[in-house]
Amino acid sequence: MARDREQVRYPARIVAGIVAAIVLCVWGAFQSYGSETEYQRQSADPYQIAAQFVRLAPVLAAIPENTVLGYVTDVEPASTTDSALLLSAQYVLAPRLLTRGGKHDWVLGNFTRPADFVAFGKSRGLRLQQDCGNGVVLYRREQQP
């Protein structure tokens, strides 16, 4: 015995409300996509993370993956620039670890302006190993006699 199927009919205002909700969701998705596309066009890479791969490529080639590097810079500690430089360097150099200061055998110098990198390192007990250009310098800790 086949059971008669009962057709459920919803009131027109409920159907209209559901249709309106669907239309608004689709419209909102397109608006979100458009505004995000425009934002990305204007602010593609504000901290220049992609450029760090090029800047730090010589360090990647020179330092083994299991190395812990010290980190020195010429920017104001705890500033936005300091954080951006350190975190982007950590990201690019992973799995190598970076720790602030020059207490390790290898030390990365990440500078924002030209300087006497030899004198900068010497004042911290570091010997210039390689000037990689673009403000990236690789130091070695001076051996204490």
Q: What is the pLDDT of residues 37-54, one digit of tens each?
A: 888 888 777 778 888 999
In this predicted structure, what is the pLDDT of residue 145?
Answer: 53
Number of domains in the chain: 1
- Average pLDDT, whole number, for the chain? 91
Residue 130 lies in a domain: yes
Domain holding 120, by residue range, is: 49-141
Which value, to the nearest 10 degrees, does the dihedral of the CA atoms of residues 53, 57, 61, 64 take? Answer: -40
Whether 24 shows a pLDDT value over 90: the answer reads yes
Residue 66 lies in a domain: yes
In this predicted structure, what is the pLDDT of residue 41?
Answer: 82
Residue pLDDT, tens place only, 84-102: 999 999 999 999 999 998 8
Residue pLDDT, tens place only, 56-90: 999 999 999 999 999 999 999 999 889 999 999 99
In this predicted structure, what is the pLDDT of residue 17?
Answer: 96
Residue 108 lies in a domain: yes
Per-residue buried b or exposed e for 12-39, using 16+ beta carbons within 10 Å of the residue's own CB = eeeeeeeeeeeeeeeeeeeeeeeeeeee
Show the tokens assigned to 36. Answer: 């995000």
Residue 33 lies in a domain: no
Residue 112 lies in a domain: yes
Residue 135 lies in a domain: yes
Place of tokens 């689709």: 26
What does the pLDDT average to over 101-129?
94
Residue 39 lies in a domain: no
User: Among the residues of 43-62, which ranges form H helices?
Assistant: 49-55, 57-62
Residue 35 lies in a domain: no
